[in-house]
Amino acid sequence: MPKNRELATRVWKEEIPEERMNNMHRFLVKICEEAGPREAGSVAEHKAANFVKEEFEKYSDKVEKKNFN
């Protein structure tokens, strides 16, 4: 996973522990595999947004999902 670590370090500007990187990767794979392609306003986009909201709720006191019409 050296290329992923290099990219993550450039993006986040800090050293990222392997465990945290693996968690991020698993989360992104989950969104891609379970929600699939996500066109704006699609059911899949809302499903992916719910995945993100649920993940953020693990680490935040308050999470809001904004709906755009």
pLDDT tens, N- to C-terminus, the chain (69 residues): 445 666 655 655 566 677 776 777 788 888 888 888 888 888 989 999 998 999 889 888 899 888 776
The answer to whether 16 touches 5, Cβ cutoff 8 Å, is yes
Helical packing angle, 18-30 and 43-57, nearest 10°: 150
| Calpha distance 18→51 (Å, rounded) | 22
Q: pTM surpassing 0.75?
A: no
Nearest of 9, 66, 7, 55 to residue 30 by alpha carbon? 55
Residue 1: predicted pLDDT: 44
- Listed residue (65, 32, 63, 66) closest to 48, CA to CA: 32
- Report whether 58 contacts 42 (CB < 8 A): no
